[in-house]
Structure 1
Amino acid sequence: MIKKILRICLILIACIALFSAAVNIYTVCYAAPYVFTSRSELKKAAADNGGYTALVLGAMVHGNRLSTVLQDRVDEGIDCYNEGIKDGFCTALLLSGDHGKKWYDEVNAMRLYVLRNNPNIDRTRIFLDHAGFDTYDSLYRAREIFKAEKLIVITQKFHAYRAVYIGRKSGLEVYALALSEDKYADRLRFAWALREYLARVKAFADTAVQRKPRFLGEPIPVSGSGLKTWDIFEDK
C-alpha cells in the first residue's frame, strides 16, 4: 500500500515537473520573436508602427531610492521615450509598480528619478500605475485602464519573455527591450531564474482564465494627460 502511494506521488511530481517545463519552453518560444536587446533592432521589427507606450515594470525601492535593477529599467525607459518621441515611435511613459501601502511607493520613486534625470520631459506624458502589483496586473491594467494597444515593455531579459507572453495573449501589440543581467552576481541571477520558472506557470494560468487584477478603476487613456494619475506633484 505504501509503495503504491509513493508510486502515485512520484507520478504526480513527474507530471507537474513536465508540465512546468513545457509551459516555460512554450512561453519563451512564443515570446522570443518580440524580445530585443537594442532599440534599433526593436524599431526595425516594428518599422511600420508608431504610437507605442514605454511600460517600465516596477521593482524594489528603498524610500525614494531605486534598486539597481529598477534604475536600469527607468534609465532605459527615459532613453526609449526621448528617442521615440522625436519620430512618434514612443509617445508616453507608463511607470507601473506597487503603491499598495503609504510607506512603500515604487511609482513615485520612479517618477522622481525621471524628473531629476530628465527635467525637460513633458510631464503630461508620464503616467503612473499605482496598482501594478505584479507583471500580469501591469499588462492587464495597461490595456483596460490606460487603453494602451501598443507597448514597449522595459525589464531585464529573464523577465521579458513572461511580460511579452502576458501582453500578447491579452491582445496587445507588445515588444520588450531586454536589459542585460551581466553585471549582477551569479547567485542573484540564479534566484531570478528559479523564481521566473515558477512565475511563468502562474502567468500561463492567469492568461488562460484572464484573471482580473486586484484593482481596476476608471479609464485614464494614454492619449490624454498623465497628470491625472499623479497623487503627488512635488519634485522631492
Structure 2
Amino acid sequence: MGLGVLAGVGGEVLLRRAGRRVLEPHQLTGPRVAVVLGAQTYPDGRPSRFLRGRLEVARRLHADGRVTTVVVSGDDRAPSHHESQAMRRWLVEAGVPAEDVVLDAHGYDTYDTCWRARHVLGLDSVVLVSQSYHLPRALLTARLVGLDAVGVGDDSVRGTATWRSGVVRERFALLKLLRDVATRRRPDASPPLGRS
C-alpha cells in the first residue's frame, strides 16, 4: 500500500484516534511538561498571532499549576528570526519564571519536535500545545516516535484564512509524517539550550 493510499484511508482513522487525546485544560492531571510547537515569528522578534495563541495556552496551564515546565520548540536557523527565543521571551514577559522554560532550537517541524522531546530531552509524557486542527497529527506523530502525549489546543484564531489553509495543509503534512516514520528519519540530535 502506497503512502498516498495510507494517508487517505488509514491516515484518517489514525488521526481520529489521536484526536481523542485532545483535552480541555481542566482534564489534565499534573504535574506535566508542556511542549509548545513553534510557528511564525516576525523579524522584530514578535510571535505571530498563531504562535501567541499557543503561548497563551501554555502560560495559562503553567499559571494554573497544570504544567511545571514549558519546552518551547522552534526553528532558530534563520538569522532573521529565532522562534524558540521569541517564544521564551514572550512567556517570561507574560510571567512564566525563566527557570521553568526550556529552549529547543532544533524543532524544525512537528516530527523533529516530538522526536527530540523523546530522544534528546528524554521526556516520556508531555502536553502538546498547538492550534486545535494541528493536534491530531501532532499527537499521532508523538505516538509514532514513542512519546506519550495529550494535547491542549488553541482556537483563538479559528476562522481566519490562515486557519483554513492550515487545515488543508494538514493532509499533505500527514504524507510527510508517514514518510519520515517509514524512512526512520533522524532529526538533529543537538542538545537543547537548557533552561533559560
The two structures share one fold, judged by TM-score above 0.5: yes
Report the CA distance between 1:16 and its aligned residue. 6.9
Structure 1: which 5+ runs fail to align?
Answer: 1-14, 228-236
Q: Is the 8 A contact 1:51 1:91 kept in 2?
A: yes
Question: Is the counterpart of residue 82 in structure 1 residue 63 in structure 2?
Answer: yes
1:211 aligned partner: 185
Report the CA distance between 1:182 and its aligned residue. 5.8
Q: Is the 8 A contact 2:103 2:195 kept in 1?
A: yes
CA distance in 2, matches of 1:26, 1:183: 24
Cα 1:188–1:122 change in 2 (3 A) is: closer
Deviations 1:141-189 (A, max 9, x none): 111221111110001111101110011122211000022266432x333
CA distance in 2, matches of 1:219, 1:99: 12
2:109 aligned partner: 134
Secondary structure of 2:64's counterpart equals: helix
Residue type at the aligned position of 1:31: A
Cα 1:101–1:208 change in 2 (3 A) is: same
Secondary structure of 1:163's counterpart equals: helix
CA distance in 1, matches of 2:192, 2:104: 11
Question: Structure 2 length normalisation: TM-score?
Answer: 0.89
1:71 aligned partner: 52
Secondary structure of 1:66's counterpart equals: coil
Deviations 1:167-220 (A, max 9, x none): 1122211000022266432x333311221101012112222343211x212477
1:39 aligned partner: 25
Percent sequence identity is 24
CA RMSD, 1 decimal? 2.1
2:121 aligned partner: 146
- 1:1-236 equivalences under 5 Å are 18-36=5-23, 38-41=24-27, 43=28, 47=29, 50-62=30-42, 63-84=44-65, 89-118=66-95, 121-180=96-155, 183-185=158-160, 187-213=161-187, 215-218=188-191, 226-227=195-196
- Give the greater-gyration-radius structure (CA): 1
CA distance in 1, matches of 2:159, 2:130: 14
Secondary structure of 1:137's counterpart equals: helix
Pairs aligned (count): 194
Structure 2: which 5+ runs fail to align?
Answer: none
Residue type at the aligned position of 1:28: L
CA distance in 1, matches of 2:100, 2:92: 12
Deviations 1:2-24 (A, max 9, x none): xxxxxxxxxxxxx7764431143
CA distance in 2, matches of 1:109, 1:122: 15
CA distance in 1, matches of 2:11, 2:156: 19
